[in-house]
Structure 1
Amino acid sequence: MAVAAPPAPVSDKPAGALAPTLGLLLVTAVWGTTFALIKGVVGRMSVPDFLAVRFVIAAVVMVVMFARPVLRMDRGQLWRALALGALYGVAQLLQTWGLARISPSVSGFATGMYVVFTPLLGWVLLKERTPPATWIAVAVATVGLGLLALHGFELDVGVLLTLASAALYGLHILGLGRWSRKGEAFGMAAVQMVAIAVVCLLATLPRGPSMPPDASAWVSVLYMALAAGALAMLVQTWAQAHMTSTRAAIVMTLEPVFAAGFAIMLGVDVLGWRTVVGGGLMLGAMYIVELGPKRNTHQVL
């Protein structure tokens, strides 16, 4: 999944760089495919087992690829990266537990609420100014979420878990905004991936992780570890160095659209009016936040 980024000063990067935009769009599409795939895998192995195997593989690959940037990090930055990775790991567990209980389409749109949660958390925790557009987005997203998740007067537990994960992703974004440094993206990413793997491994205790049960599950896990994990992180970091943060954020809001599209195409989900209207409202809320007037842009990391 896409992790939106910390508040940063307005960038002077070229806004119309085609290749980076296409690269980031491809990464977003890859992340969108994972919702349906995860839904299939967690039906055959536990959530902690799946995440532990996935992120251990991704962590090993990233540490090998970015060993030098990791070794150049000072001790303080190393601990900050570990803390951020641990936070992200807990968010991954909550999100995947939620996805095991709801449809990939609903999960994709509920996860995308981190775009709305981030400025709200910044307002509560850091006393950052919250523009009126954010409050409008909250109202629109709430209506959309109700259409997607409410059945009578009961709110699905899976949706609540996913919303909790989106809030943690928002905290992760704020932490990156305070602690990330220019030129340390690769090292920070690798260390965070290690922390994510450790958190997921701890969730498998006391017995430890079990391996994927069959070849099909292994293919899905490897795809999500390498293509949607290590490679996607590399392409995303490269793309972010060549495009404005506002443009990147707008591209990243397409993730839930890809998630819903792939789920429907693979027959995992059915396109209904609640998905179309509710998802459209939540996507609209994300765009309101990203395009609304504010002093800082958001960069996806």
Structure 2
Amino acid sequence: MKSTRLTPRISKAEAVLILITVIWGGTFLLVQHALTSSGPLFFVGLRFAAAASIVALFSLRILRDLTLLEFKAGVFIGVSIMLGYGLQTIGLQTIPSSQSAFITALYVPFVPLLQWLVLGRRPGLMPSLGIGLAFAGLMLLSGPNGASLNFSPGEIATVVSAVAIAGEIILIGAYAGKVDVRRVTVVQLATASVLSFLMVVPTGEPLPPFSWLLVISAVGLGAASAAIQVAMNWAQKTVSPTRATVIYAGEPVWAGIAGRLAGERLPAIALLGAALIVAGVIVSELKVRAKAAVEEEKGRGEALSEAD
């Protein structure tokens, strides 16, 4: 009789993604503090400029070997990063943050959906269940006030930003095994920085006065962004975009924990959402093993030995 068992497996690359998601979530309080000295787009540009400079500083010897494929990959990923950050920021000018969080969370189901529709890669059972749990958790975290949609310009911009975030994850997975991690990271961060600065003009965002708080925040968060992007590009060589998405969905959980340590209080429904996201991460890591298949393979091997 065929029986199955579920066994959790977390690889080194997946552990790295979990670690950078913790760091990612912990940066939100720093970003909120820094935005008291600068507009969002200018700060994003400054942050990514610092990140690109840091990675480039440790990659000077290998940057001269930049290939056309690496340049294209970096530009495509950088455009996706900027669209994700930029359009979400534009949407926040006209819609509340709870609604932005609700819409942005759509990137979680968008990743496997786009992979299936565009690349023909159908997600497995356990990753699909993990995606469902993580998405439900993100919905609860965003709160009931975020669930209404009227397709206003701000909402449409945020939906496109969610698609861009999904595209970033898929692009990183598509190029990860074909490019040098540090070279492509420099290009994508520099691309995101340049586009962020350019978007300051059409949005009419005022340039901030010089501030040491702004400089220190940009450098510190730039270092975090550099580590996060290098780790993503490295880890997604072996971690599928679908599984990586479930891990990334834990970012608001860690942000909530950091906020709680800083004195903020999360409502009970948000705690339930956080629990569902954690459950989604665990479920997506489960491997279904068929004992019958293992025993059949073992028996086949013994039969071959007897024949010899």
Task: Give the corresponding residue for 1:38.
Answer: 31
Letter of the 2:213 counterpart = S
- Greater Cα offset, 185-194 or 71-80: 71-80
Distance (whole Å) between structure 1 residues aligned to residue 132 and residue 36 of structure 2: 34
Q: Conserved in 2, the CA contact under 8 Å of 1:115 and 1:289?
A: no
Give ranges in structure 2 of 5+ residues lacking alignment. Answer: 1-8, 290-308
Note the alpha carbon deviations across 1:56-96, whole angstroms, 9 max, x for none. Answer: 12222222322333321222331232122111111122345
Shift of 1:292: 6.5
Letter of the 1:274 counterpart = I
Structural mapping, 1:80-95, within 5 Å: 80-95=73-88
The secondary structure found in structure 1 opposite 2:38 is coil
Q: Are 1:281 and 2:276 counterparts? A: yes
1:41 to 1:52, Cα distance in 2 relative to 1, 3 A: same
Task: Give the corresponding residue for 1:198.
Answer: 194
Q: Quick check: which has more Rg, 1 or 2?
A: 2
Q: Conserved in 2, the CA contact under 8 Å of 1:70 and 1:188?
A: no
Shift of 1:182: 4.5
Distance (whole Å) between structure 1 residues aligned to residue 108 and residue 131 of structure 2: 10
Note the alpha carbon deviations across 1:236-286, whole angstroms, 9 max, x for none. Answer: 667x49x9648x94765543321110112223x421112111232344344
Task: Give the corresponding residue for 1:189.
Answer: 185
Shift of 1:195: 0.7
1:280 to 1:23, Cα distance in 2 relative to 1, 3 A: closer
Q: Are 1:175 and 2:171 counterparts? A: yes
Q: Are 1:79 and 2:72 counterparts? A: yes
Q: Conserved in 2, the CA contact under 8 Å of 1:47 and 1:96?
A: yes
Letter of the 2:219 counterpart = L
1:118 to 1:251, Cα distance in 2 relative to 1, 3 A: closer
Among candidates 234, 242, 253, match of residue 257 of structure 1: 253
1:25 to 1:159, Cα distance in 2 relative to 1, 3 A: farther
Task: Give the corresponding residue for 2:305.
Answer: none
Q: Are 1:219 and 2:216 counterparts? A: yes
TM-score (norm 2): 0.69
Shift of 1:141: 4.6
Q: Conserved in 1, the CA contact under 8 Å of 2:78 and 2:187?
A: yes
Q: Are 1:154 and 2:154 counterparts? A: no
Letter of the 1:119 counterpart = P
Task: Give the corresponding residue for 1:4.
Answer: none
Q: Conserved in 1, the CA contact under 8 Å of 2:104 and 2:158?
A: yes
1:28 to 1:173, Cα distance in 2 relative to 1, 3 A: closer
Distance (whole Å) between structure 2 residues aligned to residue 53 and residue 149 of structure 1: 31
Give ranges in structure 1 of 5+ residues lacking alignment. Answer: 1-13, 295-301
Among candidates 266, 272, 275, match of residue 267 of structure 2: 272
Letter of the 1:129 counterpart = R
Task: Give the corresponding residue for 1:299.
Answer: none
The secondary structure found in structure 1 opposite 2:207 is coil
Distance (whole Å) between structure 1 residues aligned to residue 288 and residue 37 of structure 2: 46
- Greater Cα offset, 157-166 or 282-291: 157-166
Structural mapping, 1:12-27, within 5 Å: 26-27=19-20
Distance (whole Å) between structure 1 residues aligned to residue 89 and residue 262 of structure 2: 19
Percentage of matched positions with identical amino acids: 25
Shift of 1:179: 2.9
Distance (whole Å) between structure 2 residues aligned to residue 169 and residue 151 of structure 1: 23
Letter of the 2:74 counterpart = A
TM-score (norm 1): 0.70
Task: Give the corresponding residue for 1:11.
Answer: none
Q: CA RMSD in A?
A: 4.0
1:96 to 1:39, Cα distance in 2 relative to 1, 3 A: farther
Distance (whole Å) between structure 1 residues aligned to residue 84 and residue 146 of structure 2: 28
1:57 to 1:161, Cα distance in 2 relative to 1, 3 A: same
